[in-house]
Structure 1
Amino acid sequence: MPELPEVESIKIQLEKFLVGSPRGGALRGSPRGGALRGHIIKKLEIRNPKYEIEKEKIENTKITGVRRFGKVLVIDLSSNYSIVTHVKMTGQFIYQGPNLLNVKSLSHKVVGGLGGKHTHVIFHLDRGGVLYFNDYRRFGWMRLEKTSNIQNSKNPNNYIGKLGKEFLKDLTLEEFSEILVKSKKPIKILLMDQTKMAGVGNIYANDALWLAMINPRKQANKLLNYQIIKLLKSVEKVLKEGIKRGGASELAYVAPDGSEGHYQDFTLVYGREKEPCKNCKTPIEKVKLGGRGTYFCPVCQK
């Protein structure tokens, strides 16, 4: 499942293609002088009732922003509504339109291509732009929320309001430490609990724990102060590296321009069972923890 670096990579590209941003410059067709303007959603085509959202609040509205909360994307509209979406395991947003590549350069991970049986939602945009949402396992979801309400924790149906604070954004060392000392869960399972702290999943939890030299099965409240400090720094380091590499295209993840990420080629321990530890050369072991494959060095991570 895409984690913070993958969803951040999606956000960065969607922001550039749908809104225009200093990161990518003005969209082709923008007024002279670099003024930025977002795409207008001219038509919303919903092919799967699971993704049914209110067309009348979306069509003929301008896309004003793209944000990320943990692993969740938010596309803000000029109607004061926002599309809140989670790609889950195999969801993909693919953009075709001004200032972008030819469809031939799409990754083979875009199963069924664009507009095929795995395309469930199509946003037809002005200036010839099209945004496709593909999801061959159909675990992803979309919801329409009032923009002012998306972080309301009192709303029982509000996913974002239930998220914990986020690595690389607003989670402090003091808050991180407090979460750990109050929990008896194995540290790896706690790191992946999105209600406690948002953004980390299996890939980056494995690598961060190896970098911090902490056994993934160690009880969270048994960590010493220096280990907590080292772990937070390690999580932040692997997340930044993941963003730099465009995320990890392990299963179905691709960026909106159809390209793959490369972090999977640079993992520290994840996916490296029986390979020599990068630190001590001991073969990496794999166990199941919380139902997830967990990789660690039995020597470095005692």
Structure 2
Amino acid sequence: MSFNIGLSGLNAAQEEINVTGNNIANASTVGFKKSRTEFGDVFAASVLGGGGNQQGSGVSLQNIAQDFSQGNVSFTGNALDLAINGTGFFVLNGEAGTAYTRSGTFGTDKKGKINGVEARGLGQLLRAGTGNTPAKPGFYLNTAVGNLASSTTNDSFVVVVDGISSSAISLGSISNTDTTAVAASLQTAINANPALLAAGVGVTVEFDTATGGFGIISKTTGRTSSVSLSTINGNAGSIFGFATGARQGRGWLCSSRPTRCFCWPQPPSNRWSFG
């Protein structure tokens, strides 16, 4: 019995150390409220009932309570940092329901709207909401396209995707002037290149009717995602508006509207010879 009584005291002391350690760890956490341990005596009991004063059986943790007394208010210079001087909570509405927090650290999302945070627990642990700007894929933006029916077998280019250089991609003989079909065929030719296939990288090719340009977009996102052109032979540059290097734009490659528009009344053919 004496051993168990002493052991209960050690367990209680460990709980108090844990709570104190958590308070210290969150000393700089915005909106954090410290906790305190509350203990109680464990009374002895007998199946025959009590009789007179009895020796206790140790101590146990009864409650971990929070101290909601007013903390320090400091100025940060951020117009969206708020503080409550007195009682009360900030009310946050999210997909999981309503949450309450004393932390007034707010920001704006990519649309410029105030982007709250999702609170967990007792309003102390905070996780950023979905307003973060997602990673975008690397891209190459070309200028307006030229005459899509003028390519020859000597027209080729080399594309660098995520740092991996392809071998020469030949345009072959182009007779299809439908831009959607051109984009699809160009995408197939690039992704079928042995060097890019071996490295496991690829692109998506799109045509922007507003600018008249073809966009070559990497399938990956993040810091290493990029697309550029290192070599252009023949008429590939004038036809597609390609230029060596990489240019930034709206997430893919395109610029001004073409000065000439090439239109054919006949339905687009499927005679492509990309290599």
Q: Shorter-chain TM-score: which interval?
A: under 0.3
- TM-score in terms of structure 2 length: 0.23
Higher CA-based Rg: 2
Instruction: Give the strand-richer structure, 1 or 2.
Output: 2
Instruction: Give the helix-richer structure, 1 or 2.
Output: 1
- TM-score in terms of structure 1 length: 0.22
